[in-house]
Copies of this chain bind each other. A is one copy, B any other.
Amino acid sequence: MPADPPLPQRLLEHYNAMPRGERRLADLLLEDVRAVIDSSATALATRAGVSKATAARLFKRLGYPSFKAAQRALREQQAEPAPDRYGPTLGRLGGERPELGQHLQAEVRNLVATIEQQRSDELGQAVRLLARAQKLWVVGFGDNYSLAHFARSQLIKVRSDIRMIPLGGFSVPEEFASISESDVMLAFAIGRRTRSLRNIVASAMQAGTRLLYLTDGPALARSGEGSLTLKVRSTGTAMFDSPTAAVSLMAYLCAALGAHLGEAAVQRLRRIDAIHEDWGELAHPLEA
């Protein structure tokens, strides 16, 4: 019943005050608190590249009397009712704010897992897809729309001919009709997958368009020839999933595409900046 703060919380609270070595270990734990439960202090220290002494000190700093005590406490916490998803919200109603530390912990895990899971050659292939597409179709329905919008807003800084689906209030099939074999479709399928997505993906494959498919679910079924699935993790702590890792991966891909395109991309960026500047001036020539 004492309900001491969970580990991620404590890590956050003391993060600033930690010296380098301890921070190294803290970073590790932020990625994976379970490690404390499973591993020994020695193993932990080794994994983080610090000495056992440092590990001991960290747990003291966090307010535990010792590593052992911390481990015990955490094991107990772990054993307690495993609240999950909507259920718990119903259960612990009444304005209980979810733990920030938990959130961070989950996000970091997602991020690390997502990024580490990527195969270098696949990323390279993805970048090439994005670069060589004649037209690029960015697809995101429902909750995926924001993600798609983000992707497009970054990609358009670096190359031209990018279409968005769905577009404004326009009917999808009409827009989609102009897709061709030399195009590429970048489709987002995080969380709830809609009918529309399945339909359009199916149509695209039928049309022979190559596909770059970002999902937190299973890979594309018949992903043959040129199509590619990138998996991301989006598990959230409370109520909703979080597209953070997807955003991050997409940000990376855009940067990578920029680097890939090289001079062309840079020039495009410059042009965009110039126009921005002009417009800024034109709109309000009075501002300081």
Contact = CB atoms under 8 A, between A and B. Distances in A.
A103 B242 contact: no
Contact of A243 (B150, B240, B258): B150
A279 to B, nearest CB: 9
Interface stretch (A54-62, A65-73, A93-101): A93-101
13 contacts: A12-B115, A17-B20, A19-B19, A20-B20, A90-B263, A96-B259, A97-B260, A100-B115, A103-B115, A104-B115, A142-B153, A195-B287, A239-B254
Given A89-B258, A111-B111, A237-B255, A192 B276 contact: yes
Contacts of A240: 154, 157, 251, 254-255, 258
Contact of A15 (B15, B112, B120, B244): B112
Interface of A: 12, 15-20, 24, 27, 30, 82-83, 86, 89-90, 92-98, 100, 103-104, 107-108, 111-112, 115-116, 118, 120, 123-124, 127, 142-143, 145-147, 149-150, 153-154, 157, 168-169, 192, 195, 236-240, 242-244, 247-248, 251-252, 254-256, 258-260, 262-263, 265-266, 269-270, 273-274, 276-277, 280, 283-284, 287
Contact of A86 (B108, B256, B269): B269
Contacts of A149: 145-146, 149
Contact of A100 (B20, B123, B146, B236): B123
A94 B259 CA distance: 7
A97 B124 contact: yes
